[in-house]
Amino acid sequence: MAGVSDLWSERDAGVLRLPSGRSVRGRGLRHPLDPTAPLPSYGVYLLGRRPPETPWPSEWVRWPDFRLPADPEAARAALTGAWERAAGERVEIACGGGRGRTGTALACVAVLDGVPAVEAVAYVRRHYDRRAVETPWQRRFVRRFAHPR
């Protein structure tokens, strides 16, 4: 397990602190990295096509803009892994703009952390970005995340 200094600070841009104390950073890949911010130790990238290579381990979830993941079970596995890693690593979750897909994924991670699914979108909007989770089907995806069919 990593030390506290290996985790995100609440001062780092885009960091969502979960009720358990774990933190995950959300980011838009179209925005350059802050050169003064620490780099992630693991990333989950939500894009319609394969993301560029990163110097840290990462996972790609095929997820077209304004839509839902192409493979919901693969998305669930990636987000569960991200939540588990966030206990001791700097995990980032990112899409192109950092709001719709990233917000949806962060809300799902919040559900894994114990936030009730019906409250997860509001939680992410309050603690990450007020415009996170952009479409009705993304909101529905979060509500159903706790109990997949």
Q: What is the pLDDT along the chain (149 residues), one digit of tens a residue?
A: 444 457 998 888 899 999 999 999 999 999 988 888 899 999 999 999 999 999 999 999 999 998 999 999 999 999 999 999 999 999 999 999 999 999 999 999 999 999 999 999 999 999 999 999 999 999 999 999 988 76
- In this predicted structure, what is the pLDDT of residue 81? 98
How far apart CA 27 and CA 93 sit, in angstroms, is: 6
Query: DSSP letter at 53?
Result: P
How many CB atoms within 10 Å of residue 131?
Answer: 12
Take residue 80 and report the two structure tokens written for it.
């569960």
Strand partners, 41: none
Query: DSSP letter at 34?
Result: P
- In this predicted structure, what is the pLDDT of residue 122? 98
- In this predicted structure, what is the pLDDT of residue 11? 84
- In this predicted structure, what is the pLDDT of residue 149? 65
How many CB atoms within 10 Å of residue 78?
Answer: 23
> Which domains, ranges and CATH numbers included, belong to the chain?
4-8+15-145 (3.90.190.10)
